Chain A
């Protein structure tokens, strides 16, 4: 008869139980310490404080808000501001990334070199530094609002971007520009890699049929490359969403910035942390879910 302590299954269970005990033990210890600390600070866990008056004003908001409204409202303002910058720069970064990625494979030498300089320059610089640069060096050094620079329909000035009457603050514009151009470099590399990853025989076959290089790229190569790039693209979108939390560095009132102010006023570290975590996890899961759904639809239609 095999001794109990020499059975593989038993040893595995004992090992797992020990690991679990350590993890649970640590969590209990942390919980206990947390409880002690909160008692010392005179705080009790709970989300009731969300109903009390926020009392601070916010520079920009998608929905109506004034300081007499509660914390829950101001946090919603922050959340919507986050969504606004995430989705607009997500779209812009995709466009810039795809353009730059294709440009890196262009037969035009100048186009190729400019795309390369763009990608290599910006992806090797910290995003935070780029945001500071866009805000302090670019937008705040622009001419005043009564004397803007025109790019067609777009007016750019110290007060931000004015797009056909849609006014965007310099904080939003900097964050948008920073996230877009930074994420664009990574998307460009993904696009370039995926296009190169499509079998060369495909473009040869298309050219042999007499298709132009533009049609070959649009109708033959790109649809196939798209399938290769989706998982990496999803990762970049998730990174963009998380990186939008750097808004606080240039004073754009996103979810993190407003949570941080709320924490400073109330001292509610645990509650704010839980709230932030759940929100970002939810945004991450949503983006991942959407891309997965799109991906599986693509896989199905390709059969």
Chain B
């Protein structure tokens, strides 16, 4: 199966997902379905559970109730399924989380060599192609500490792509960037979306959501309360909480 073709069965299904941190419930029966090739932006006030929600898709956060299925594999306690899902799902973090003791190139090739068992030559070839794609080929031999925030985040995207994931998760990828660097990262994400990648993006970037997203999900208090097109969400939100949120950020 080629993952760029939009199929009708969703590649990601989250059914009534609930999660507690101690006594505090972060997710309340959250629901989501994403088809292959779709770009979904998740918005919501801070503390609404949106980051936690996408982190469950990568088993970074366990959940207590509900069901998550990714590319036909149920995400349960089964460690083999967890390993498989993590290889299929790439993740980009707010704080980049590059490995400071490895060069840019080593950051990208580590997982392909260790997990996918690629040879070093193969992995380097993939890494250089991806670095070229995100526009920082010349930084390959440097250590992450020497790069700007925008460049680091682009390396992080390349690192996730090197595992050839079917879905990419972005957890507020531009929130800790200086304003002048936000664009270079969004440009990379835009071209990734055009190439047909399935993407789930938690972000406050309204422009990006309007232009690139197929759907906008609005979350509050651990629930998905609106699931619609960007045009509709930004012009005529249905829910009172969405209206309030939009009035605060627009």
Contacts and interface: CB of A to CB of B under 8 A. Distances in A.
A3 B79 CA distance: 10
Interface string A1-20: 01100111101000000000
Contacts of A6: 78-81
Interface residues of B, number: 7
Contacts of A8: 77-79, 82
Interface string B69-84: 0000000111111100
Interface size class of A (residues with CB under 8 A): under 10
A2 B80 CA distance: 10
A158 B76 CA distance: 77
Contacts of A2: 76-78, 81
Nearest to B74: A2
Contacts of A3: 78
A8 to B, nearest CB: 5
Contacts of B79: 6-8, 11
Nearest to B82: A8
A7 B82 CA distance: 10
A6 B79 CA distance: 6
Contacts of A11: 79
B70 to A, nearest CB: 15
Contacts of B81: 2, 6
Contacts of B80: 6
Contacts of A7: 76-79
A8 B75 CA distance: 12
A214 to B, nearest CB: 44
Contacts of B82: 8
Interface in B154-183: none
Nearest to A2: B78
A148 B235 CA distance: 98
A2 B82 CA distance: 12
A134 to B, nearest CB: 47
Interface in A1-51: 2-3, 6-9, 11
Interface in B62-97: 76-82
Contacts of B77: 2, 7-9
B71 to A, nearest CB: 17
A23 to B, nearest CB: 25
B8 to A, nearest CB: 27
A11 B81 CA distance: 14
B226 to A, nearest CB: 34
B84 to A, nearest CB: 11
A286 to B, nearest CB: 34
A65 B77 CA distance: 67
A6 B80 CA distance: 7
Interface of B: 76-82
13 contacts: A2-B76, A2-B78, A2-B81, A3-B78, A6-B79, A6-B80, A7-B76, A7-B78, A7-B79, A8-B77, A8-B79, A8-B82, A11-B79
Given A7-B76, A8-B78, A8-B79, 9 more contacts: A2-B76, A2-B78, A2-B81, A3-B78, A6-B79, A7-B77, A7-B78, A8-B77, A8-B82
A-B interface, 4 closest residue pairs, ranked by CB to CB distance from nearest: A2-B78, A7-B77, A8-B77, A6-B78
